[in-house]
Amino acid sequence: MHQVERALFDIRRGLPVLLRDADGPCLVHPLESLDDTNLATLAERPDAPSLVLSRHRLARLGHPIDADGARLALTPALCRDTRRLNALAFGLDRVEALPELHPAGQAERAALALMRRALLIPAALTTRIADDERPGIEARLASGELLAVGAAEASRLLDAAPGMLRRVSEARIPLAEATESRFILFREPDGLREHVAIIIGEAEHWPSAVPLRLHSACLTGDLFASLRCDCGEQLRNAVAEIAALGGGVLLYLAQEGRGIGLANKLRAYTLQDAGLDTVDADQALGFGEDERRYAVAVDMLAALAIRRVQLLTNNPVKIAALTDGGIEVAERQALYGRLTEQNYRYLHAKAHRAGHLLDEVLGDHRESGRA
């Protein structure tokens, strides 16, 4: 396992990681797991740590920037205030006055990439290591207590690793909507995410443009039939439609909450209950409007020798991603779930903020007088 992949597990456990860039070593602490004791220790350093936030979060705070993110020079008092730091990182309120902002450098950008890949809030505290601290840091590295990774390598975590996806296992799984189905599990190189290709019917009987659905995992909708989204119904409708078309493939991708993970998705739901739409809620947490990556889907299709598809989707981004990956999208077919009072705001935001093709279903809703 590469060092950066091991570092992801430390980050998820709340442990600091050492990043190396041209400016020297930089210790990165995930903000999500810092408590008062950790902060008090950091506040005692000769140089106070910096808070690193993404450009999405800064825009929600009323401070848009051109860089990917920025570091905020913290005062000792602010460094000791866990509540205030958390409010800066993922609170609702805008802030008129922020600590001094500096565009994110290589280490700060790498810190944000680590947090995103680890499915944590994209916010971290960073501290530069002074010369007199280096012997102690080297001793911690030698003992294995601390991991060091290159900032450049960490920054590439969000990029795909072409050809590195591993086919792990498979089994026949008859489904209610498609009794002739087989599941094939694929694992990403760092081991954090597993994706499933659901093979419906026999490949020799498939249409020349293979019916295909890319479905991002949604625990609340797929398993518990949440009314906040239409994901569960889209999933089951997709399986039934692919079977009716003569068979094809559904790729079930481990990209919960448009790629931000279940913990952050639940945080976003809480922000939505306070009045934000789904896009603004994700951005308030520091994420972009859609953090998903579809290169893994291209790799799965390559492993299945599929190059031409009929795509079941309302999302033009998926069409573009497959096309860019060398997959011919011969046709698009709309796929809807049931519209409810609970999911109308969500679908409206997807259509009007993220460009999803939902005019037909949302038009029906407006005509019914329920909008």
- Specify the pLDDT at position 192: 84
Whether residue 18 is found in the same domain as residue 101: yes
Whether residue 84 is found in the same domain as residue 185: no
Active site residues: 290, 292
CATH number of the domain bearing residue 318: 3.40.50.10990
Q: What is the domain range of residue 186?
A: 166-367
Domain boundary among 106, 125, 158: 158
- Specify the pLDDT at position 357: 67
- Specify the pLDDT at position 99: 77
Number of domains in the chain: 2
Whether residue 95 is found in the same domain as residue 174: no
Whether residue 147 is found in the same domain as residue 208: no
Q: Measured between alpha carbons, how far is 208 from 108 in angstroms, rounded to an integer?
A: 47
Nearest Cα residue to 44 out of 7, 83, 77: 77
- Specify the pLDDT at position 93: 66
- Specify the pLDDT at position 83: 84
- Specify the pLDDT at position 250: 98
Whether residue 301 is found in the same domain as residue 176: yes
Q: Splitting the chain (371 residues) into consecutive groups of 10 residues, what average pLDDT does each group show?
A: 83 93 92 85 80 93 90 84 84 71 92 94 93 92 93 82 83 96 94 94 95 97 92 94 97 96 95 90 92 94 97 93 96 82 74 70 51 30
Whether residue 126 is found in the same domain as residue 182: no
- Specify the pLDDT at position 368: 40
